[in-house]
């Protein structure tokens, strides 16, 4: 069976409609989930070779497919180098991630400190989920997770955020050092 076509402009039109109609974050996530999966499964419509390119230093590649002028409704393709990933981080906004190619291991964390010391953060692992093609992860604002590509090939996933993650003041966490620092990613041009 041939996968249906679903372009990034179509996805963005649907995202705009969802945002116009829904204000509650839970309802937004519920509505974005199926269209993220639809876009992931329709990858032949929009996925380009260049989107497999990743930043060696960073461990992954960030390819911006869309953002509104005020940085909201950001759509990105992320490519993950084999056996690389991210430290635990939050997003500063809601996030929906759909697997496009290859499995990505997500580990979820909760803070066990009282947030009274700036820059200090103690995390404990609370779960994990491996996302393959078409699997969707919907994360409310505040969720902390790490992503790891355990496979021997580059993996790709489609990420939709309420706001571009470099404009939310979000954080990354160091589990051993117990620190919280700003997390800004390098976007491919
Ligand atoms: Fe993330």
Q: How far is the CA of 184 from the centre of ligand 1 (A)?
A: 12
2 CA → ligand 1 middle, Å: 31
CA of 177 to the centre of ligand 1 (A): 20
> How far apart are alpha carbons 81 and 59 in whole angstroms?
6
For residue 42, the number of C-alpha atoms closer than 13 Å in the C-beta half-sphere is: 16
The number of beta carbons lying within 10 Å of the beta carbon of residue 82 is: 14
Report CA(111)–ligand 1 centroid distance (Å).
16
Cβ atoms of 181 and 108 within 8 Å: the answer is no
Q: Tens digit of pLDDT for each residue in 115-139?
A: 999 999 999 999 999 999 999 999 9
> For residue 3, is pLDDT > 80?
no
pLDDT tens, residue by residue, 142-181 = 999 999 999 999 999 999 999 999 999 999 999 999 999 9
- The pLDDT value given to residue 1: 52
Q: Considering the entire predicted model, what is its pTM?
A: 0.96
The beta strand positions in 24-183, using DSSP E, are 60-66, 72-80, 95-101, 104-111, 123-131, 136-139, 144-148, 155-163, 171-174, 179-182
Q: How far is the CA of 162 from the centre of ligand 1 (A)?
A: 12
């Amino acid at each position: 069976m041939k996968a249906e076509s679903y372009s990034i402009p179509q996805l963005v039109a649907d995202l705009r409609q969802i945002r116009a109609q829904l204000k509650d974050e839970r309802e937004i996530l519920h509505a974005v989930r199926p269209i993220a999966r639809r876009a992931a499964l329709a990858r032949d419509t929009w996925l380009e070779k260049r989107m497999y390119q990743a930043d060696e230093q960073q461990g992954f590649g960030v390819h911006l497919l869309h953002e509104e002028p005020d940085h909201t409704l950001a759509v990105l393709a992320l490519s993950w180098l084999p056996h690389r990933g991210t430290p635990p981080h939050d997003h500063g906004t809601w996030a929906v991630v759909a697997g496009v190619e290859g499995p990505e291991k997500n580990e979820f964390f909760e803070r066990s400190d009282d947030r009274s010391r700036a820059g200090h953060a103690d995390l404990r692992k609370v779960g994990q989920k491996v996302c393959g093609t078409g699997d969707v992860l919907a994360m409310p604002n505040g969720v902390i997770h790490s992503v790891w590509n355990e496979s021997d090939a580059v993996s790709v996933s489609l990420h939709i955020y309420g706001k571009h993650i470099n404009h939310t003041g979000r954080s990354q966490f160091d589990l051993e050092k117990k620190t919280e620092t700003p997390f800004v990613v390098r976007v491919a041009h």
